[in-house]
Amino acid sequence: MIKTENFIILICNTPNIDNAKQIAHKLVKEKLAACVNLFSGVTSIYEWEGAIEEETEITMIIKTLREYREQTEEMILEIHPFDTPEIIQIDVPASNGKYYDWLVGALKN
């Protein structure tokens, strides 16, 4: 494992697989994400406008670097259908060295 101070993961839920794939393909094509994992069948329970809601969503795990976070978020917001999409950042302090090298090489330089 090596230290990776600029490696981040963004988590974002979408309402369906088509929307998730659209966002994922655009992020990878534009080299803002090295990889996007899609997890289907995620149940989200939350309060919205005074009511408890339960929805089945797709969770996206977006792997990128800190320097691309703003551009990545802007692109998600352009495509995402929700008024208030969840976009959460997780810092990755360490990673397998070969994976990290691949990730950096797959992104804009």
Res 7: pLDDT: 97
The rounded distance, in Å, linking the Cα atoms of 55 and 94 is 33
Res 69: pLDDT: 98
Res 5: pLDDT: 84
**Which residue segment(s) compose the domain that 56 sits in?**
2-95
Please answer whether residues 96 and 1 qualify as being in contact, where contact means their C-beta atoms are separated by less than 8 angstroms.
yes
Does the residue 101 lie in any domain? no
Residue 67 is given by DSSP the state G
Say which CATH number the domain at 62 has: 3.30.70.120
Does the residue 106 lie in any domain? no
Does the residue 107 lie in any domain? no
Number of domains in the chain: 1
Does the residue 19 lie in any domain? yes
For 27-84, how does the pLDDT look when each residue is reduced to its tens digit (9 = 90+)? Answer: 999 999 999 999 999 999 999 899 999 999 999 999 999 999 999 999 999 999 998 9
Does the residue 103 lie in any domain? no
Does the residue 74 lie in any domain? yes
